[in-house]
Amino acid sequence: MNQTPAPAANELVLTRRIAASPEKLFRAWTEPELMKQWFCPRPWTTPVIETDVRPGGANFILMRGPQGEEMPNRGQYLAVVPGRLLVFTDAYVGDWQPSEKPFFTGVISFEDDGAGGTLYTARARHWTEADRAAHEAMGFHEGWGKATDQLEALVTSL
């Protein structure tokens, strides 16, 4: 089993061992109906999720807050290795069209822990220190942590 590398500059990282297979976690990250159940910390919801899970495929995720506020997110998959790795970015919004302002690239890895579970690592790699600091201030650790709690509860029940 590989050791998780230290965070790179401008990177935020969440790592956790989850008692579910890498394949279940991958499904939960790629199937819209599963994603809707965990993707953002409650009471926020994701009423619309569209995925084309392949290198170059676009995605769209609409996050909705408890007061009706909406955060639409468009992106594109850069790398897809079923059951192992997802890499996506908001630098493109589909069909290799540049976004107005890229914020980060997500690198999600699912490594079999040899005991029936997964070493799950979510990395948010930002172009600038200011973007990394802004993401951290928005509550990266708390928000992604809560979403991962929800993800874990979902995949252990599949």
Sketch the domain layout of the chain as residue ranges. Answer: 13-155
CA-nearest of 46, 43, 8 to 29 is 46
pLDDT for 4 equals 55
Res. 2: pLDDT tops 60: no
Query: DSSP secondary structure string, 44-61?
Result: -EEEEEEE--STT-EEEE
Whole-number percent of the chain with pLDDT over 90: 93
- Tell me which CATH homologous superfamily contains domain 13-155: START domain (3.30.530.20)
pLDDT for 30 equals 97
The torsion of the CA quartet 7, 4, 101, 145, rounded to 10 degrees, works out to -100
Strands 11-18 and 45-51: unpaired
Average pLDDT for 40-56 = 97
